[in-house]
Structure 1
Amino acid sequence: MRTVLAALAAATLAATGTANADTPRKQACSASVAIDSFSDALDKTTYDGVYVGNLSALAVDRDGSLAALSDRSTLFRLDARGPAGAVTLPGDLDSEGLAVDRDGTRLVTSETEPSVRRYSREGELLERLPVPPDLRVAPAGRATANQTFEGLTLLPGGLTLLASMEYALAGDTPGTVRFQTWTRDHGRFRLGAQYAYRTDGPALGVPEVQATPDGRLLVLERGFEAGVGNTVRLNLADQGHATDTSRIDHLTGQPGVRTLHKTRLADLADCPSLGATARQPQPNPLLDNIEGMTVTGGGRKALKVLLVSDDNQNPAQTTRLYRLRVRLG
């Protein structure tokens, strides 16, 4: 099928010079993940006077095109030549997560309160979803400003929406992050179950989560240390036997509370650099502040995944797209 994504993939390969002749071993980040290419073509560019950067989320649209969300509340449409459209969302948002619903409307998370909002393709606000009180920013709740809803994904079938908090709530064990779900009821999303996910340490947060075709979750963990750079890890999580934590006030390692089962897929520092350069110290020059992720194709056992980094409109950072192949165990 000839789609914008296919053209974008070809353009990304051309931009990096990564040839198909590369052996799988040279492209491997781990036994489960390989990197095909990266592209800096969007870095420090503008579209119709709008800065193309600060990108925090990606989603495949209903027509196969690619949507990219800026945390400054601009929603871009991308094709192989770059941005081909831009819509500014109304409201005081720090927009971080994006999902395209089956009717083409956009579901967007904001870290400000936090919130999950539904928008038309034209950017009109249609609905605000309910948010549990504890997940709101203090003093209204127990969340810390700028550490709330980051990832957003629709599970297969479109009946369940899931958002990931970035860091732990006050009173929860650091590194224990809550994932909130909503279930569709007569066309509207109502609050559903909540799950706990444990990162590799309190310094790592969850910037993005994406559903796999079998209903499991690809989870990005990310951290930053000045003078060292970014840590970016990709994990596979399964909520099948996890405890519903929506009625548990404080997650402090209580007996009987089962967190999401997690399997490491790759530490992206172990990927080949493919000739990438970094403007600040990094354990691998390929790395930057990776925040967005979407599944662009594949089946139940092998996926094509696209990542994007948020440059924070900072000269020392880069807006970079990454194409991965992920095998699911």
Structure 2
Amino acid sequence: MLNRLLGTASLALLLSTSAHALDIGSRFETACPLSDCDAPISLSFLGEVTIPTGEIIDGVEFGGISGLDFDLPSRRFIAISDDRSEKAPARFYDLDIQVDGKGLHAVKVIRTTTLLDTNGEPFAAKTVDPEAIRFSQDGILWTSEGDAKAGISPFLRITGDDGRFVREFVLPNGFAPTPDKSSGIRNNNAFESLTVMSGGDILVGLEAALYQDGPAATLTTGSLARLIRFDATTGLAKAQYVYPVSPIPQAPVEADGWNDNGMPEFLALDDHRLLTLERGFAQNIGNTIRVFMTDLEGATDVSKIDSLTSTKERVVPARKAQILDLGAIGLKPDNVEAMTFAKGQDGTDVLILASDNNFNDEQTTQFIAFEVLKRPK
């Protein structure tokens, strides 16, 4: 029942730097993000590794990587697949990411673990949509985005190393989907982001606004995505904030082509600062991947505000400042949705991003690494 078989194949090799215009060692610094010179960010590019779509691990196609995390004491990397138990039961992977101060060298899949529902069984097809994963002192945290069209609510749960259910956090009012779309999550825009703050609280973020809070992002307007701050012990929400998702950065080539922008991941820097990842897409153009520093200090707690569009109260969103645009620095990013800090084999501080290939033959699972030269701690 618990799928913990060992993967045997080395899945990826470092791409030649000629594949993009960015050289190993290229540096990028934001000295005073949000005009705060005590919180500089400085990164140095370490390289890129890709895993082609179609690789088979433990008898199942590898892909859909939507969350990534690293545990320092065990030096363990885990990644979650957003397969909705369709290709195989919902699962997460243990990875061996070989990175040091000289570069990102290879990625191997070590083990596959099946996530189990509250009944101790694997999730049935289309009953779950795994999106984010983090280590915590109580076990492995992970989110499901739910399925608004099917009336399935999102959730945040803790699982053991063996994939077994431990407990679930309490979903605040207003997040459950509704048939008439009067309130609740938008489909595919729910619990995408997850991080553990330095003080121990757990933060979960939506990719776009709840229906009662306004529209999803467009080419001319952004979207007000709620962030929920949970108490790790009680499992209850203690605050909610507003994150201002940016407008869609590029229009599609065709007037009726698909485009969007959302926030699929964030990563705690301390107890109030985050790195937030925004992922835009325009059909026949590609992905726009940007990283922001975001500060929750001074942001309004909106947990008692039912609707951001109808409230008369003053609402202050989280502040943010762009620190990196992957395309602008010379990379060709795929559908990046995952992000973690880690330590290289030589002790180098690193930031690693990973993409969701959507199990699409025209995409790859992409890992991008930077050495972290400076960051708030």
Aligned counterpart in structure 2 of residue 64 of structure 1, from 50, 71, 75: 75
Per-residue Cα deviation, 1:16-61 (whole angstroms, up to 9, x for no partner): 3459xx9989724665444221101465322111221100000113
Is residue 27 of structure 1 aligned with residue 53 of structure 2?
no
For 1:220 and 1:235, locate their aligned partners in 2 and report how far apart those are by CA, in whole Å.
6
Mean CA deviation greater in 112-121 or 255-264 = 255-264
Q: Which residue of 2 aligns with 1:166?
A: 207
Q: What are the residue-to-residue correspondences of 1:1-329 with 2, within 5 Å?
A: 15-17=14-16, 27-28=26-27, 31=30, 32-41=42-51, 43-61=53-71, 62-72=73-83, 73-79=90-96, 80=98, 82-90=108-116, 91=123, 92-103=127-138, 105-112=139-146, 113-139=153-179, 141-158=183-200, 160-174=201-215, 175-184=223-232, 187-201=233-247, 203-213=260-270, 215-252=272-309, 256-273=314-331, 286-297=332-343, 304-326=350-372, 327-328=374-375
Query: Is there any run of 5+ residues in structure 2 with no aligned partner, and where?
Result: 1-10, 31-41, 84-89, 99-106, 117-122, 147-152, 216-222, 249-259
Query: How far apart are residue 269 of structure 1 and its match?
Result: 1.0
- Using the aligned pairs only, state the percent identity: 31
Mean CA deviation greater in 31-40 or 190-199 = 31-40
Is the contact made by 1:294 and 1:305 (CA closer than 8 Å) also made in structure 2?
yes
Mean CA deviation greater in 140-149 or 82-91 = 140-149
> Cα 1:178–1:303, aligned 2, differ >3 Å: closer, same or farther?
farther
> Cα 1:263–1:236, aligned 2, differ >3 Å: closer, same or farther?
same
Bigger Rg over Cα: 2
Cα root mean square deviation, aligned: 2.7
Matched AA of 2:134: A
For 2:52 and 2:368, locate their aligned partners in 1 and report how far apart those are by CA, in whole Å.
12
Query: How far apart are residue 200 of structure 1 and its match?
Result: 1.5
For 2:359 and 2:62, locate their aligned partners in 1 and report how far apart those are by CA, in whole Å.
9
For 2:239 and 2:206, locate their aligned partners in 1 and report how far apart those are by CA, in whole Å.
14
Matched AA of 2:297: G
SS of the residue 2:327 aligns to: helix
For 1:196 and 1:297, locate their aligned partners in 2 and report how far apart those are by CA, in whole Å.
31
For 2:276 and 2:171, locate their aligned partners in 1 and report how far apart those are by CA, in whole Å.
21
For 1:214 and 1:179, locate their aligned partners in 2 and report how far apart those are by CA, in whole Å.
14
Runs of 4+ in 1 over 3 A off after TM superposition: 22-26, 28-34, 41-44, 252-255, 325-329
SS of the residue 1:171 aligns to: helix
> Cα 1:319–1:23, aligned 2, differ >3 Å: closer, same or farther?
closer
Instruction: State the TM-score, normalized to the length of structure 2.
Output: 0.72
Is the contact made by 1:120 and 1:126 (CA closer than 8 Å) also made in structure 2?
yes
Is the contact made by 1:235 and 1:262 (CA closer than 8 Å) also made in structure 2?
yes
> Cα 1:42–1:214, aligned 2, differ >3 Å: closer, same or farther?
farther
Per-residue Cα deviation, 1:289-318 (whole angstroms, up to 9, x for no partner): 0001111149xxx96211100001001111
Matched AA of 1:181: R
> Cα 1:181–1:214, aligned 2, differ >3 Å: closer, same or farther?
closer
Corresponding pairs, count? 297
Query: How far apart are residue 189 of structure 1 and its match?
Result: 2.1
Matched AA of 1:169: L
> Cα 1:16–1:86, aligned 2, differ >3 Å: closer, same or farther?
same
SS of the residue 1:59 aligns to: strand
Matched AA of 1:182: F
Matched AA of 1:57: G
Matched AA of 2:81: S
